Chains A and B, each alone.
Chain A
Amino acid sequence: MRRIGDAPLVRRLLIGAALLLSALFLLLPLVAIFAQAFSQGVAVFWANVSNTFTLHAIGLTLVIALMTIPICLVFGVALAWLVTRFSFPGRRILQTLIDIPFAVSPVVAGLIYLLLYGRNGWIGGWLDSHDIQLMFAWPGILMVTIFVTCPFVARELIPLMQAQGSREEEAAVTLGASGWTTFWRVTLPNIRWALLYGIILTNARAVGEFGAVSVVSGAIRGQTNTLPLHLEQLYQDYNAVGAFASAALLALIALLTLAAKAGLEWRASRREAYT
């Protein structure tokens, strides 16, 4: 018996189209990045990467990502817990609000932050009089990065926690477990894979974010330049090899992230087959 839509011709055409498109839009650019980065040899590539400004950009990007992840993690878990374990007026609206950072263009997000926290902004004016500078400094970069990445963890957790329900937690409490114990020993183990997955996505976005960061960072070399911003500057300065060296680094981080994600998925499917 052949299933509907399973004619050999259709199948070959679809597979061929998928392969061709993947090659054109994904594989080829990726190869091009590395080819360009190494076009003048490893030495030039290395010189570009080990350049002070590049190193600083790498450092800043990683620090921002490392600070973003725990904040988004706590925020995401708390939000998912709130939305799935309690019913209160406005719960639906809150669930919609979570998606705002996905819906809004990152540039717009950056502009809003600039408007609010910039020196001439509503809150920024008051902060400035107290000698606190958020915009055009790393706190601003952190703030917009958190804004664009905060939905990832919650988005991963909410459907899972909804499906799992709260019966296991209720069971734990009837057995005398405290709230903390219940969270650590019952809730967390049940959501750990979704949580890790959310972290991976958060990290990928935090490292790669360009639009929002470019508005609030001021892109001062050696001070507020993240890797994506640095890359763009190099490219504008006609330093193609330098730009592609940075691009290669970003691509490498992306590839590592994808590998981690694939590894997690593989583990998850193995666990399912086992149980």
Chain B
Amino acid sequence: MSIRLQNIAKHFANTQALEPINLDIHEGELVGLLGPSGSGKTTLLRIIAGLENADSSPQPGKILFGDRDVTNVHVRDRRIGFVFQHYALFRHMSVYDNVAFGLTVMPKKRRPSNGEIRARVFRLLEMVQLQHLANRLPAQLSGGQQQRVSLARALAVEPDVLLLDEPFGALDAKVRQDLRRWLRRLHDELNFTSVFVTHDQEEALELSDRVVVMSNGRIEQIDTPDTLYRAPKNRFVFEFLGDVNHLEGRVRNGVLTCGDAHLNVDLPDGDEELQLRPHEVRLAEEPSAESHLPVTITAISPVGAEVRVELEADWLAKPWLATVRHADFERLHMRRGQRLFAHPRQWHRFKEDAKTPEQQAGTSGLGTASAAG
């Protein structure tokens, strides 16, 4: 079932939680709402669910599930499944009763027979691999198990759309990884439309078909994870999706200068701020004709596929972060206090005054510095 939001806005007392939002979610899609806390993502999800009402003035918004207008439909009749951040399992009911709840509260006419309920609950428990814990109370389960029960409970009523509010937020990293993959598989198998909220960019990029990046009650960008990462529409999206190094300076005759550092750029004269991802910084023992960016290594973290190196210099307001292949790390004999030269493989530039996405799309730029080597 597709979801279409038209002109959905929300304010609490004096704060505008959501500016009027339009959003189309296609049938069978898994969409992540990504943003920092206070960006309005949870509010938006709760409005889709009907747990919160959108503003009816100045103009009323509209929510459509497929062709069905659910704007004024009560939560209990919207046919949604909602998974809460802290599971919200019924603490006095067994796992079985939790999953069966949605079926047992159906009006008599639609309610399946007891045998049918039993069969369906056990099928769901099997799907979440918890059939052996059917008689336990929620408090006797681990966080990951509780979240699976809560998912089975939401799916029991066969909802049109599944909404998940920070579903893995309260779990530890390993369990989160497993559950993420498991949810992705489940989604592909059952093919329902899902929307989930997260503040974890990695989770959003890994799990979603498309990601909606939000800040301050606005949608900043809607795109596939790949496009989002490679072609961020504005500075906020760029900075929110990963670590960023800043290079500020003044451009004159095609050379950006900052203290004793300089870099050849193809930009008009004036003050500029460039941004680089850690993997776009290459380290070498010599400067090149294009760039002269002397740095000192202040910290090294060799954990993972790449070595993370922290760099400082007089001309830098904030330290840089560079990721280096283990082979290069060994070749250059990197150690703390060593002086090297940074070479941008690529840099990004966003105009500060751009406030709305339309303007930003025109002025955001992608540049490539032809560093030697």
Contacts and interface: CB of A to CB of B under 8 A. Distances in A.
Chain A contact-residue range equals 10 to 19
A143 interface: no
A55 to B, nearest CB: 42
Given A173-B75, A174-B82, A176-B76, A189 B153 contact: no
Contacts, number: 65
A275 interface: yes
A9 interface: no
B164 to A, nearest CB: 12
Interface in B146-168: 150, 153-154, 156-157
Nearest to A174: B82
A190 B92 contact: yes
A275 B137 contact: yes
Given A174-B82, A176-B157, A275-B140, A168 B90 contact: yes
A98 B30 CA distance: 48
Nearest to A192: B92
B90 to A, nearest CB: 6
B139 interface: yes
B303 interface: no
A181 interface: yes
B90 A174 contact: no
A171 interface: yes
Contacts of B101: 172, 175, 177, 185
A175 B88 contact: no
A178 B82 contact: no
B interface majority secondary structure:
mixed
B153 A175 contact: yes
B81 interface: yes
A194 B213 CA distance: 44
Contacts of A250: none
B105 A181 contact: yes
A176 B159 CA distance: 10
B336 interface: no
Contacts of A265: none
A54 to B, nearest CB: 44
A173 B89 CA distance: 13
Interface string A160-180: 000000011011111111100
A178 B76 CA distance: 8
B86 A167 contact: yes
A275 B141 CA distance: 10
A176 B160 CA distance: 13
Interface string B134-146: 0001011000000
B92 A176 contact: no
A186 interface: yes
A174 B105 contact: no
A21 B102 CA distance: 56
A175 B91 contact: no
Nearest to A177: B105
A172 B80 contact: no
A190 B51 CA distance: 21
Interface of A: 167-168, 170-178, 181, 185-186, 189-190, 275
Given A168-B88, A275-B140, 19 more contacts: A167-B88, A168-B89, A168-B90, A170-B51, A170-B75, A170-B82, A171-B153, A172-B90, A173-B75, A173-B76, A174-B51, A175-B154, A175-B156, A176-B102, A176-B106, A177-B105, A190-B92, A275-B137, A275-B139
